[in-house]
Amino acid sequence: MSQVEAGDAGVSEARLRRLVAHCACDDVELIDALAAMATDRIRGWWEEYRVLLPPVFLGLSELEHHASFRRDVEIIHVPGLLQTEDYARPFSRTRCLSFQ
């Protein structure tokens, strides 16, 4: 199980369905999507870079290949001296900031 969690080993559709049943998940749409991903053995463009790139980049490339949408999160970091209420006020209209 730890090899599957770490991405070192794949998981068969049968094993995936047993695991989902053990976890008492009954979302059929989610289970079918996970099963489709588990059985999709397409060798993507990233495979030719397997010897050049660390596994984390290869995993991200494969996840992006299977993704149906992407959500980005941007975080603003204001340097310490600029963390004043007057400086941050214009940003508070578009982002959630708290002043302490």
Has residue 26 been placed in a domain?
Answer: yes
Tokens of 35: 């099963």
How far is residue 98 from each of residues 75, 82, 88, 90, 94, measured CA to CA in Å? 14, 14, 9, 13, 13
Has residue 13 been placed in a domain?
Answer: yes
Indicate if the alpha-carbon torsion angle 86, 91, 92, 93 is positive or negative: positive
pLDDT category, 100, cuts 50, 70, 90? very low
Has residue 100 been placed in a domain?
Answer: no
Task: Convert the pLDDT of each residue in 44-94 to its tens digit.
Answer: 787 888 888 888 888 788 788 878 877 777 777 666 666 777 776 776 655
Has residue 22 been placed in a domain?
Answer: yes
Whether residue 3 has pLDDT greater than 70: yes
Domain that residue 51 falls in: 2-66
Tell me if the pTM is above 0.85: no
Whether residue 97 has pLDDT greater than 50: no
Structurally, the chain folds into a number of domains equal to: 1
Has residue 33 been placed in a domain?
Answer: yes
Arithmetic mean of pLDDT, 11-38: 86
Has residue 12 been placed in a domain?
Answer: yes
